[in-house]
Amino acid sequence: MTMRQAILFTLIALLPGIASARPAAEATHGADLYRAACAMCHGPTLEGNFQTPALTGRFVANWAGAPVAELESYVHRAMPLMAPGTLSPEDTRAIVAFLLQANGLAQGGTIRRVHPS
Amino acid sequence: MFAGGAALGAVAMMAGERTLLPHSATAGDALVPPHRPRLAPLHPRVDQITDLKVCIRPFRAAGPRLDVERIGDKTIFHNYGHGGSGWSLSWGSANLVVGNVAATLHRKVAVIGCGIVGLTSALTAQRAGFDVTIYTRDLLPHTRSVRANGSWTPDSRIALTQTAGPAFADQWEQMARFSWATYRTYLGLPGAPIMFEDNYILSDKPFDDRPAPPPPAGAPGTMPRATEDFATYESRIRDIVPAVEDIPDAENPFAAPHARRHSLMIYNFGAYGHLLLSEFHQAGGRIVIREFHTPHDLASLPEKAIINCPGYAAREWWRDDSLIPVRGQTAWLPPRPEAPYGLDYRGAALLSKTDGVMIQAVDLDGLGEMTGVGNSFEHPDPAEAARAIGVFADLFARMPMVGG
Ligand SMILES: Cc1cc2nc3c(=O)[nH]c(=O)nc-3n(C[C@H](O)[C@H](O)[C@H](O)COP(=O)(O)OP(=O)(O)OC[C@H]3O[C@@H](n4cnc5c(N)ncnc54)[C@H](O)[C@@H]3O)c2cc1C
């Protein structure tokens, strides 16, 4: 419980509510949020580890074809694992925008590559 | 008498072993006790850690979810939420669920998940004549299951007595007996997938055998409030599980004044997991690597009967808020096959297994079964590991030895 408080505190302390509407700024904000709330488990470069899934590679295959809203809903419901449901809807959108951008995926709509081959 | 003691020491020396001497024994009273355990000492150290594994126990106050649900033309047979007892109850739980599947007259079965519950469900379905495909995000070595302690703990945080009610107690007994009998068929095999080892329970104070105090007044509902809310059913299967015995002072080899011993069944994850996967493939089973996001994703599967074994992940994948996370962590040190025993002391546990010496902080802070409840911080805590290792390092540092 104290761990949870500590993490929430870190989140709040590091990231005063900078919600941005513009997609590029949103992804940048999302990257900051990712570093503070997610990187400790999923790794600074989304690489994951033996017990935590990477948010690149197979992650793309896992979600390809699903609505972006479904991924947002998952992240909001399930992550960060020790404090699910604590990200605001804006912060959730920003983090997902960052994950899509980092994986070369299109923003909005369905999860797919920016340049389908 | 002295000569006898010296001769024993010489034998131990010849065998090249360092043997622990009963803590009260001196040259003057070296009466050789009939069953003096000859144990090689373990000196666990933090700088020997090979792995820190963190896991979330999938706890449900009412006990595991084993009901049947229909979604479109699919019938879903749930098998998840086994708390700290998933390994122990796996075969019995699979037996109940596959019994329900068998009544549906389908021939093909899909199993979601390849943790210990999914894998044993798949094998049980094959043995009942089904054609089985496992759909899973991860194979066993990457699941939460292999981050467990891995011993016979069939009523470890399996339910809350009141919430689960007496019908579950009967069902638990059926599962536990069936599991135990199935595990016995895996004993004595090459590579020791399953084995028994002596486990020593040590204490600084005399053991307190008074009955547990009653739980707090009122009903706990879905959230445990105190250790006493958790169900304990083990007395129901006393007739098949080896009893715990007191070790007389003169036979106690440990630097702790009170000791007990029992034969504990343990699961060696490497050998056992490999064996189960091989059995599944040999029987024609298929595995499809796949992640599901919503129950509607199941519509795309060819099978109509589906056994759902996602463990804690059911919280997201099946939107089941009744799952309460209970965090736990194990530290792994290199294997010590010459020291095959287990220890419970000062809230820490140690098991010497074929794939390593496992050390777990079970309850270092006197919180009992509430330790880790509500905590889903699945991230290694090296300080916790150091404390647990310290319990045993300190114990062995205090112990006299002969023969070395
Ligand atoms: C520290 C600790 C010690 C323990 N010690 C013991 C012990 O000594 N004895 C004992 O009996 N029990 C013990 N347990 C409890 C035991 O580990 C669990 O009850 C058991 O592992 C649960 O197994 P499972 O197969 O249900 O879940 P998991 O092992 O979590 O497996 C779930 C499976 O489902 C798959 N999956 C999940 N979601 C999806 C999805 N959306 N799409 C596709 N696939 C999915 C996963 O990839 C995985 O294959 C311990 C637990 C902990 C944490």
Q: How many angstroms separate the Cα of B139 from the Cα of each of A54, B242, B277, B353?
A: 16, 33, 9, 21
Distance from CA of A50 to the nearest CA of B (A): 7
Q: Quick check: ipTM above 0.90?
A: no
Tell whether ligand 1 has an atom less than 6 A from the beta carbon of residue B61.
Answer: no
Query: What's the rounded Cα separation, in Å, for the pair B238 and B351?
Result: 22
Listed by start position, the domains of chain B span 2-38, 46-400
Inter-chain CB proximity B378 and A62 less than 8 Å? no
What's the CA-to-centroid distance between B58 and ligand 1, angstroms? 7
Total domains, chain A: 1
Candidate from B52, B57, B330 with most ligand 1 atoms within 8 A of CB, to mutate: B57
Inter-chain CB proximity A81 and B375 less than 8 Å? no
Predicted confidence at residue B173, as pLDDT, reads 98
Per residue, what are the HEC states of B304-325? CEEEECCHHHHHHHCCCCCCEE
Nearest CA in chain B to A39: B379
A30 occurs within a structural domain: yes
A10 occurs within a structural domain: no
Judging by DSSP bridges, how do beta strands B341-345 and B348-353 pair with one another?
antiparallel
Q: Which atom of ligand 1 is nearest to the CA of B326?
A: 53
Nearest CA in chain A to B327: A82
Predicted confidence at residue B109, as pLDDT, reads 98
Predicted confidence at residue A117, as pLDDT, reads 52
- In 3-state terms, what secondary structure has residue B128? coil
Distance from CA of B79 to the nearest CA of A (A): 21
Q: Is the dihedral of CA B114, B120, B126, B128 positive or negative?
A: negative
**B223-229: long-range contacts, CB 8 A cutoff, minimum separation 24:** B223/B61, B223/B324, B223/B374, B224/B59, B224/B61, B224/B160, B224/B324, B224/B369, B224/B370, B224/B373, B226/B368, B226/B370, B227/B367, B227/B368, B227/B369, B227/B370, B229/B160, B229/B161, B229/B162
Nearest CB neighbour to A66, from listed B293, B315, B375: B293
- Please answer whether residues B49 and B332 qualify as being in contact, where contact means their C-beta atoms are separated by less than 8 angstroms: yes
Give start and end residues of each alpha helix (H) in B103-160: 116-127
A40 occurs within a structural domain: yes
A3 occurs within a structural domain: no
How would DSSP label each residue in B351-365?
Answer: EEETTEEEEEES-TT
Q: State the count of interchain CB pairs (< 8 A) between A and B.
A: 39
Tell whether ligand 1 has an atom less than 6 A from the beta carbon of residue B21.
Answer: no
Inter-chain CB proximity B377 and A81 less than 8 Å? yes
Q: How far is CA B235 from the centre of its chain?
A: 18
Token pair of A55, please? 């948010």
A91 occurs within a structural domain: yes
Residues of chain A under the 70 pLDDT cut: 1-22, 116-117
- Tokens 């081959």 correspond to what residue? A117
A2 occurs within a structural domain: no
- The domain that contains A62 carries what CATH number? 1.10.760.10
Query: What's the rounded Cα separation, in Å, for the pair B46 and B42?
Result: 13
Token pair of B118, please? 């999914």
Token pair of B208, please? 């307190």
Which residue has the CA at smallest separation from atom 22 of ligand 1?
Answer: B86
Note down the domain range covering A75.
26-102
Candidate from B59, B137, B344 with most ligand 1 atoms within 8 A of CB, to mutate: B137
Tell whether ligand 1 has an atom less than 6 A from the beta carbon of residue B93.
Answer: no
Predicted confidence at residue B10, as pLDDT, reads 37
Q: What is the pTM of this model?
A: 0.90
Candidate from B55, B60, B233 with most ligand 1 atoms within 8 A of CB, to mutate: B55
Nearest CB neighbour to A51, from listed B53, B319, B376: B53
Query: What's the rounded Cα separation, in Å, for the pair B269 and B147?
Result: 9
A12-44 tens-digit pLDDT = 444 434 443 467 889 999 999 999 999 999 999
How would DSSP label each residue in A33-84?
Answer: HHHHHTHHHH-TTS---SSS--SSTHHHHHHTTSBHHHHHHHHHHH-STTST
Measured between beta carbons, the chain B residues lying within 8 angstroms of A3 are 375, 377
Q: What is the pLDDT along chain B (404 residues), one digit of tens a residue?
A: 333 333 333 333 334 445 555 544 444 444 444 566 779 999 999 999 999 999 999 999 999 999 999 999 999 999 999 999 999 999 999 999 999 999 988 999 999 999 999 999 999 999 999 999 999 999 999 999 999 999 999 999 999 999 999 999 999 999 999 999 999 999 999 999 999 999 999 999 999 888 888 999 998 999 999 999 999 999 999 999 999 999 999 999 999 999 999 999 999 999 999 999 999 999 999 999 999 999 999 999 999 999 999 999 999 999 999 999 999 999 999 999 999 999 999 999 999 999 999 999 999 999 999 999 999 999 999 999 999 999 999 999 998 664 33
The residue among B160, B187, B180, B289 whose CA lies nearest residue B236 is B180
- Please answer whether residues B124 and B154 qualify as being in contact, where contact means their C-beta atoms are separated by less than 8 angstroms: no
What's the CA-to-centroid distance between B147 and ligand 1, angstroms? 8
Number of residues in chain A? 117
Token pair of B206, please? 């005399």
Predicted confidence at residue B290, as pLDDT, reads 96
Predicted confidence at residue B237, as pLDDT, reads 98
Nearest CA in chain A to B55: A51
Cβ neighbours of residue B126 closer than 8 Å, sequence gap 6 or more: B132, B280, B283, B284, B285
A63 occurs within a structural domain: yes
What b/e string do you get for B11-38 counting C-beta neighbours within 10 Å, with b at 16 or more?
Answer: ebeeeebbbbbbbebeeeebeebeebbe
Inter-chain CB proximity A63 and B293 less than 8 Å? yes
Which residue has the CA at smallest separation from atom 14 of ligand 1?
Answer: B84
Predicted confidence at residue B398, as pLDDT, reads 93
How would DSSP label each residue in B327-351?
Answer: EEEEEEE---TTS-EEEEETTEEEE
